[in-house]
Amino acid sequence: MSNFSTATSIAHNVASGAQSAVSIVEEHLQRITQREEEVHAFNLVTSAEARERAADIDARIARGENVGPLAGVPIALKDNMCTRGVPTTCSSKILEGWKPPYNATVVDKLFAAGAVFVGKTNLDEFAMGSSTENSAFGPTRNPLDTSRVPGGSSGGSAAAVAAGFAAVSLGSDTGGSIRQPAALCGVVGVKPTYGLVSRYGLVAFASSLDQIGPFSHSVADAALLTEVIAGHDPMDSTSIPKPAPSLVSVLGRGVEGMRIGRVADLPEGADADVLARLDAAFIALEKAGATIVDVKLPSLSYALTAYYLIAPAEASSNLARYDGVRYGNRVAANDMNTMYADTRAAGFGDEVKRRIMLGTYALSAGYYDAYYGKALKVRRLISNDFAAAYANADVILTPTSPTVAFPFGAKTDDPLTMYLCDIFTIPTNLAGHPAMSVPFGTGQANMPVGVQILAPTLGEEAMFKVAAVLESAA
Amino acid sequence: MSERLSAADVAKVARMARLNISAADVERYTQQLDGMLDHFADIDNLQLADVQPMTQPFPLVNVLRADVEQPCLDREEVLGAAPAAEQGRFRVPPSGGEDE
């Protein structure tokens, strides 16, 4: 764990009056002033609003009010979550300057819990990428080594926490976009069960895969934040009609008697330093009283193909709305079809265009069955594999990322090379299960390695119990 | 590399996706997308005839509510964020092509 204050301790101190929310926010804004130019975690820093909000929280506490479980906690939001009246760009030129007319549900929930927003974080355009090099506004750098990427697509949110710009942050995870940057920046990152956290106000990439989740310095902070943002939302038709789970309370319970799955047929591709840390994690859990069991996931090696057909197909449909009519930017033309095509050509970056075309192709007449239809069947096989594995294991451990953070430009020449970064994170999204990455030591070049904990649908309790044990053993 | 799709295919896809891209870009995307489809051929030999497709993690049901008026987005705020609006509506160029 880093030396920065956790959200849990900040909320405790602010609520008890030991520290003011104003002093906390100033401390974080000062770090932003010192390092943001170098790191570029943010598309927008909302200093004035943060100061105003912190002063309001202090005033309410002075009046004896309970301001909520995140009292005075500075938080950063990935810039694909709608904030009313505050620009939300998705790091795309097509939405540059757009101010949403409503808040995402998670934003309202965090506000009600007493959090202080410090800014909107950088991402790969429309969350398509694994290094944050695809942002229209320039890349984010890894705060631990600025010659390396922070991962992606939520690279700005991971870097903001790792650099101490915010105590916690939110990202979105469609194929690993929270867990992979968390691993590469040495912080905790959680993708909750699909449907546990409302997607209302999250700009859609691939609607059957997207899920919002937290970044934090500690497992306890991640549990706290998940509790705050989870729960049923009538505004999201895929929201699970159940109350938010209680997660902070399970953290001290240990893993005695738990069955931890080791994937016997893990797809190749992980570096030796990463696999060494995974082995160490199994040893730590065994020492803590868990049993290691071998599980098989034979369809896992096809997950990349299924994902890179399904996600672009959904994206090609979701991104059809950016047509220069209702929001965002427009390239003027004398007829509507030219206006659409010129607006989209000028507004979208290279990777977004590539995925829109791939998705359009996979869905087009004559190719639907061969590509999209087949990918949906492979998705079922992967889901079935997980169901069989979870009959024998409570959770499964894998690497989060096959490598530690890589240098800029290392994977930008060939899109497929970049896609392989997601090989261990993608299967969870296809199944809709929860998963999280916990820092567990370092690998090459002294860069952090993350271990990924996978659990079945609504298995967050088991997942967090294991995470807490790994955190104390790291 | 096999030739799974041609430049003409990519130009057609770009038209369907309403993306005005240059001839040079068509060539580049053709190569890249062809390489991807080559990789995606790894699922070609799977026996999938009896497998049910999975579109969502959970089965979805329609969300219904009583048909009564509820608060909604502010009209002026929504139109204010549009590239062009007129008389309370979004303004677009004509589909046939005339002066805007």
Can you give the pLDDT at residue B97?
60
CA pair distance B79, B68, nearest whole angstrom: 24
How far does B31 lie from chain A, in Å, by closest CA?
Answer: 11
Which residue in chain A is spatially nearest to B50 when comparing CA positions? A377
**CA–CA dist A290, A316 (Å, integer):** 44
Span A68-76, mean pLDDT? 98
Residue A62, Cβ neighbours under 10 Å: how many?
A: 10
Using a CB-CB cut-off of 8 Å, the residues of chain A touching B95 are 335-337
Q: What does the alpha-carbon distance between residue A51 and residue A115 come to, in Å, rounded to a whole number?
A: 12
List, in sequence order, every residue forming a beta bridge with A78; answer none if it has no partner. A121
Q: Is the dihedral of CA A179, A183, A185, A188 positive or negative?
A: positive
Query: How far is it, in rounded angstroms, from Cα A206 to Cα A314?
Result: 5
Residue A194 contacts B where some CB pair is shorter than 8 Å = yes
Listed by start position, the domains of chain A span 7-251
Give yes or no for residue A332 having a pLDDT over 50: yes
| CATH fold for domain A7-251 | Amidase signature (AS) enzymes (3.90.1300)
CB within 8 Å: A302 and B52:
no
Q: pLDDT of A336-380, one tens digit each?
A: 999 999 999 999 999 999 999 999 999 999 999 999 999 999 999
What pLDDT sits at residue A32?
98
pLDDT tens string B7-62: 999 999 999 999 999 999 999 999 999 999 999 999 999 999 999 999 999 888 88
On chain B, the residues whose CB falls within 8 A of the CB of A311 are none
To the query of whether residue A131 is one of the catalytic residues in this protein, the response is no
Task: Report CB contact under 8 Å: B99, A345.
Answer: no
Those residues with Cβ within 8 angstroms of residue A187's Cβ, 6 or more apart along the chain or in another chain: A2, A158, A161, A162, A215, A216, A217, A439
Task: Please give the angle made by the CA atoms of B20, B26 and B30, to the nearest 5 degrees.
Answer: 135
Distance of CA A74 to the CA centre of its chain: 18
Residue of A nearest to B97 (CA): A335
Q: Could you tell me the pLDDT band of residue A54, with boundaries at 50, 70 and 90?
A: very high
The helix/strand/coil state of A278 is helix
**Chain B residues close to A318, C-beta within 8 Å:** none
List A5, A9, A153, A437, catalytic entry: A153
CA-angle at A442, arms to A438 and A445, nearest 5°: 140
Which chain B residue has its CA at the smallest distance from A301's CA? Answer: B42
The per-residue pLDDT for A1 is 55
Q: Classify residue B23: in a domain, yes or no.
A: yes
Kindly compute the dihedral angle of the four CA atoms of residues B89, B90, B91, B93, in this order, to the nearest 10 degrees. -130
Q: What's chain B's length in residues?
A: 100
A78 is catalytic: yes
* Rg of chain B over all Cα atoms, to the nearest angstrom: 23
Q: Could you tell me if A151 and A405 are in contact, meaning their C-beta atoms sit under 8 angstroms apart?
A: yes
Residue labelled with tokens 């002066």: B99
Q: What is the pLDDT of residues A80-117, one digit of tens each?
A: 999 999 999 999 999 999 999 999 999 999 999 999 99
CA A2 to chain B, closest CA, distance in angstroms equals: 35
Range of the domain at B30: 7-41
Are A169 and A222 in contact by the 8 Å Cβ rule? The answer is no
A201 touches A105 (CB < 8 A): yes
Whats the size of chain A, residue-wise? Answer: 474
Q: Is A353 considered catalytic here?
A: no
For residues A54-65, give the mean pLDDT. 98
The pLDDT tens digits of the residues spanning B78-87 come to 999 999 999 9
pLDDT at B1 over 70: no
Cβ-based contacts of B78 with chain A (< 8 Å):
101, 326
Q: What pLDDT was estimated at residue B96?
A: 74
Percent of chain A with pLDDT over 90: 98
Tell me if B40 and A376 make a contact (CB, 8 A cut-off).
Answer: no
In a domain, B30, yes or no: yes
Whether A41 has its CB under 8 Å from any CB of chain B: the answer is: no
Q: Summarize pLDDT for A409-452 with one digit per residue, the tens.
A: 999 988 888 999 999 999 999 999 999 999 999 999 999 999 99
Predicted confidence (pLDDT) at residue A408 exceeds the cutoff of 90: yes
Beta bridge partners of A168: A75, A216
Q: Residues A465, A471: contact at Cβ < 8 Å?
A: no
The answer to whether A336 touches B95, Cβ cutoff 8 Å, is yes
> Do the beta carbons of residue A357 and residue A319 sit within 8 Å?
no
* d(C-alpha A69, C-alpha A319), whole Å: 36
Interface with A, mutate which of B18, B60, B61, B70 (most A CBs under 10 A): B18
Do β-strands A168-172 and A74-78 pair in parallel, antiparallel, or remain unpaired?
Answer: parallel
Chain A residues with beta carbon closer than 8 angstroms to that of B99: 334
Beta carbons of A247 and A227 less than 8 angstroms apart: yes
Q: Can you tell me the distance from the alpha carbon of A215 to that of A182, in angstroms, rounded to the nearest whole number? A: 7
For residue B95, tell me if it sits in a domain: no
DSSP A377-395: HHHHHHHHHHHHHTTT-SE
Residue from A20, A157, A177, A437 carrying the catalytic annotation: A177
Could you give the number of structural domains in chain B? 1
Question: What pLDDT, on the 0 to 100 scale, is given for residue B2?
Answer: 59
Amino acid identity for residue A118 in this structure:
V
Strand partners, A86: A83
Averaged confidence pLDDT in chain A: 97
If contacts are CB pairs under 8 Å, which of residues 296-325 in chain A contact chain B? 301-302, 304-306, 308-309, 316, 320, 323-325
| pLDDT of the residue at B69 | 94
Confidence of residue B100 (pLDDT cuts 50, 70, 90): very low
Q: Which residue of A has its CA nearest to B40?
A: A305
| CA-CA-CA-CA torsion sign (B18, A351, A176, A307) | positive
Cβ contact (<8 Å) for A377 and B48?
yes
Q: How far is A67 from chain B (nearest CA, A)?
A: 27
What are A227-237's pLDDT values in tens digits? 999 999 999 99
Radius of gyration of chain A (CA): 21
pLDDT of B99 strictly over 50: no
Question: Is residue B37 a part of any domain in this protein?
Answer: yes
- Residues in chain A with CB shorter than 8 Å from the CB of B65 are 234
Burial (CB < 10 A; 0-12, 13-18, 19+), residue A416, is: middle
Per-residue model confidence (pLDDT) at position B62: 83
Q: Is residue B29 part of a domain?
A: yes
- Count the helix, strand and coil residues of chain B and give each as a percent rounded to the nearest 5: 35, 5, 60
Position B98 scores a pLDDT of 52
| Selected catalytic residue, list A5, A9, A20, A78 | A78
User: Is residue B59 included in any domain, yes or no?
Assistant: no
